[in-house]
Amino acid sequence: MMDTYDRELEEAEGAVGAEIPAARLHRDQWRALEEPADLHLKSGLVELFAAEIAVARLRHDPDHRPCVFDPYHPPASRQAVWRPADAAPRPVACCPADAALLNAGKPPAARKTPSLDGMTPLWDGTETDAYWLLGHHAMTGTAPLTSAYQQTPMGRTLARLLHHR
């Protein structure tokens, strides 16, 4: 799991052309945890890590709005209709590539996250994944995120986390 966050930090720093010291600090705090499972107990650190990266991206590109399917896709500059399994169709703000896939009747190229069942799409992600998403969308608003993921496991987790703020 830490390798994923290391790569994410490297990609973000490459995109903004500078180090992101606060995100590095949060990543290093996780490395200090005695048990990797403790990261799930301290999921708020994941949100802070992602928020620091989001802030750096906005400083670099003030118009950047993250794609709901993966904040590392190009910015969300298109609207498309997405229908998650067993849920109603809904308009989503996404990157051009995901919009083209959805318009062609294909699933979006969503970020995959590790689970007990192998790699799963973000909309089936864990609470830690929800904190990660909230961090990436914190500076630009969570409404597109909660609207896109309603009636999915991620949507239920986001609603619970946002309700308790």
Q: pLDDT by residue (tens digit) across 27-46?
A: 777 677 666 566 555 666 77
State residue 74 phi and psi, 5-degree precision: -55, 165
Helix or strand (DSSP H, E) at 121: strand 118-121
Q: Which residues contact 151 (CB under 8 A, 6 or more apart)?
A: 84, 86, 87, 88
Q: pLDDT digit string (tens) for 42-77?
A: 666 777 777 777 777 777 777 889 999 998 899 999
| Residues 15-28: b if buried by 16+ CB within 10 A, e if exposed | ebeeebeebeebbe
- The CA-CA-CA angle for residues 34, 36, 39, to 5°, reads 100
52: its two tokens = 């620091």
The mean pLDDT value for 88-98 works out to 96
The mean pLDDT value for 125-153 works out to 89
Q: What's residue 155's pLDDT?
A: 95
Q: Which domain range does residue 23 map to? A: 2-163
pLDDT range class, residue 8, cuts 50, 70, 90: confident
Average pLDDT across the chain, whole number? 84
pTM recorded for the entire structure: 0.76
Total structural domains within the chain: 1
Indicate the SS3 state at residue 142. Answer: coil
Q: Is residue 81 predicted with pLDDT exceeding 60?
A: yes
Q: Is residue 1 predicted with pLDDT exceeding 60?
A: no
The mean pLDDT value for 10-18 works out to 75
Q: What's residue 84's pLDDT?
A: 94
